Amino acid sequence: KPNAAAADVRAMRLDEAKAIYRVKYWDAQRCDDLPAGVDDAVFDYGVNSGIGRSGKVLRRCLGLPDNTGVINEAVIAAARRADAGRLASAICDERLRFLKSLRTWPVFGKGWGRRVAEVKAFALQQAGRQSLAPPVVERHAASIGKGVVPVAKAARQGSAGAIATGGAVAVQQAHAAGVDLVGLIAILALVLAAVVMMYVFWQWRQCQRQEAAA
């Protein structure tokens, strides 16, 4: 809802969070119609910086007019003709350049950079899987292991610790720079809640893909 506070985010039910991510970010950017890997890069960019910016960057990377962020049939067709891995990589690189241009990069840059790197690695993994027809044995293994997220388990388990470490560093840097710590802590709480909800949605999305591949 408009002007939501950190307490509102923490009190949000899981099904409400999933619905928000599905409607406001995944469906709004037509991620189901985008190639594997590209969908994840666009989705996460939209969550982080708004679907207007992510849509414009997708268009720009495809060589289409970027005076609007709307993802229409022309954008979908161009994305499907492109190399999914290169397109996803270009989107993430453009996203990182934008983040580095922000004045708050010295405070939040470490966490932002890690997030973009993780999204890029995951997107390239998904793009590579789509470009190769999986063998029968792999499909059988996927059907047995439904619900398993196809991302390195160790990497995902380390994400929470990385976020906490990044948050602590950000607070220390902000304190040294004279930034209002109360406001900063509220922002960090919102960011952390958003990351948790996004991860839950991501798990659900990968389960859907595994069931479709089975």
Determine, yes or no, domain membership for 8: no
pLDDT band at 211 (very low <50, low <70, confident <90, very high): low
**What's the confidence (pLDDT) of residue 48?**
93
Determine, yes or no, domain membership for 148: yes
Amino acid in the structure at residue 158: G
pLDDT band at 68 (very low <50, low <70, confident <90, very high): very high
pTM of the full structure: 0.62
Interval 168-207: pLDDT, tens: 444 444 444 454 545 555 555 666 666 666 666 766 666 6
Q: How would DSSP label each residue in 102-170?
A: STTHHHHHHHHHHHHHHHHHHHHHHHHHHHSPPPHHHHHHHHHTTT--SS-HHHHHHHHHHHHHHHHHH
203/148 Cα distance (integer angstroms): 8
Q: CA 183, 190, 46, 109: dihedral to nearest 10 degrees?
A: 60
Determine, yes or no, domain membership for 9: no
Determine, yes or no, domain membership for 2: no
Query: Looking at 12-26, 62-76, 91-105, which range is the least confident one?
Result: 12-26
**What's the confidence (pLDDT) of residue 165?**
42
Determine, yes or no, domain membership for 7: no
Interval 141-150: pLDDT, tens: 333 333 333 3
Predicted confidence (pLDDT) at residue 88 exceeds the cutoff of 90? yes
Determine, yes or no, domain membership for 3: no
pLDDT band at 1 (very low <50, low <70, confident <90, very high): low
Determine, yes or no, domain membership for 6: no
Q: What is the mean pLDDT of residues 2-25?
A: 84
Determine, yes or no, domain membership for 20: yes
Burial 20-54 (b: 16+ CB within 10 A, else e): bbeeebbebbbbeebbbbbbbbbbbbbbbeebebb
Other C-beta atoms closer than 10 Å to the C-beta of 214 total 13
**What's the confidence (pLDDT) of residue 9?**
77
Query: Looking at 10-14, 46-50, 77-81, 125-129, which range is the least confident one?
Result: 10-14
Q: Domain count of the chain? A: 1
Q: Which domain holds residue 207?
A: 14-213
Q: What is the mean pLDDT of residues 107-117?
A: 96
Q: What is the mean pLDDT of the chain?
A: 76
